[in-house]
Amino acid sequence: MGWRVALPQQPSTIAHIEGWDLMDTFDVAAVTAEQTHGYTWWNQSRRPGFASDVRVMAYREDPAVQLADGGRLLDGGERFTLETRPGEPLLLVARLHARENLTLAVAVDGQPAASWQIPAIPGEWLERWLLIPADRITGEQTTITLTLPQGTTAYHSPFHYWAYQGGDLPAVEPGRETTGVTFGDVVTLGSYDPPPARIAAGQTFTLRLVWQVDTPPAQDLNTFVHLVDPQNDTTEGILAQADRAPNNGTYPLRIWSPGEQSAQTFSLTVPPDTPPGEYLVLVGLYNPASGERLPLPEDYGSRRFLIAAVQITN
């Protein structure tokens, strides 16, 4: 059990904050920290017990990382002040327990600034970040207000905040092969790093996909990767497969901004008893709630895109 409360621990967060300066940090529900940061909170409804919460949980992106932290349980909102450098973008990072999907209205120094969408990751730690433009950071102290919608039945559970400045968000490295194929008119597979042309039976290979959201989908979407026997293109003919949401569900496609990109890497193991021959690597997107696959612009049969034909050897 690790008790690493002081810094972000989610792998995608660590990648985002590389090269940024930590300007301030704020441990929610710690009395001294709340006083130092002028913290206030409010609720719309009266709930039994305390408006505080202590959790020991793991991270969805890295279950090996577990930590204990204390926070608040709010259905109204919160306000706090952070040390900042004027004239620079502010990357606000939050550690949350997101029981339900919710949208927070963000105000900076009392002026509306953004809507912050939080995906539900119940029972696990989630870190989300929000980039606040440089023109909104006008002083050496910046007050952030986060408000839930009026009449909401959802709860916002913040545990820790960090303020970073002086860096750039990481660029997504394109894959070696470009496609530009669009799924359901909402998500484009812009490029990918293909698997090796020859793979030994029993060997594990990787496939990296670079996605771009054109229009944020209304629902969550999962990616699937299939290694298929072309002579038996049925469920029984799938020799290996992988299936998961982008970012393991911590940053679903429906809350991406148009034009935003992210990479997904999959590892598949060829069964050791696979006969030598040519096999197909196919990918697609589907709605996990209904099982329906997103269509492609041409007739691809079962709504899958052919990434590569590979030779399996002994």
Domains: count for the chain: 2
Q: Specify the pLDDT at position 234.
A: 87
> Do residue 100 and residue 181 come from a single domain?
no
Q: Specify the pLDDT at position 111.
A: 98
Tokens matching residue 112: 């509306």
Which residues span the domain enclosing 249?
A: 177-313
Q: Specify the pLDDT at position 48.
A: 63
> Do residue 64 and residue 114 come from a single domain?
yes
Of residues 305, 293, 301, 302, the one with CA closest to residue 184: 293
> Do residue 24 and residue 144 come from a single domain?
yes
Tokens matching residue 267: 């590892």
Q: Specify the pLDDT at position 3.
A: 41
Of residues 43, 12, 11, 39, the one with CA closest to residue 24: 39
- CATH code for position 186: 2.60.40.3880
Tokens matching residue 195: 């698997």
> Do residue 71 and residue 196 come from a single domain?
no
Of residues 270, 263, 212, the one with CA closest to residue 242: 270
Could you give the CA distance from residue 89 to residue 58 in angstroms, rounded to a whole number? 30
Based on the number of CB atoms within 10 Å of its own CB, is 109 exposed (0-12), middle (13-18) or buried (19 or more)?
Answer: middle
Could you give the CA distance from residue 13 to residue 160 in angstroms, rounded to a whole number? 13
Q: Specify the pLDDT at position 1.
A: 36
Residue type present at position 207: L
Q: Specify the pLDDT at position 309.
A: 96
- CATH code for position 43: 2.60.120.260
> Do residue 210 and residue 294 come from a single domain?
yes
Q: Is the pTM of this model over 0.75?
A: yes
pLDDT means per 10 residues, the chain with 314 residues, are 70 94 96 96 80 90 94 96 98 97 97 96 97 97 98 94 95 93 94 96 97 93 96 91 91 92 95 96 95 84 89 94
- For residue 30, is it within any domain? yes
Residues present in the chain in total: 314
> Do residue 73 and residue 159 come from a single domain?
yes
Of residues 6, 125, 128, the one with CA closest to residue 62: 125
> Do residue 197 and residue 261 come from a single domain?
yes
3-class secondary structure, 116: strand
Of 133, 165, 197, the one marking the end of a domain is: 165
> Do residue 184 and residue 301 come from a single domain?
yes
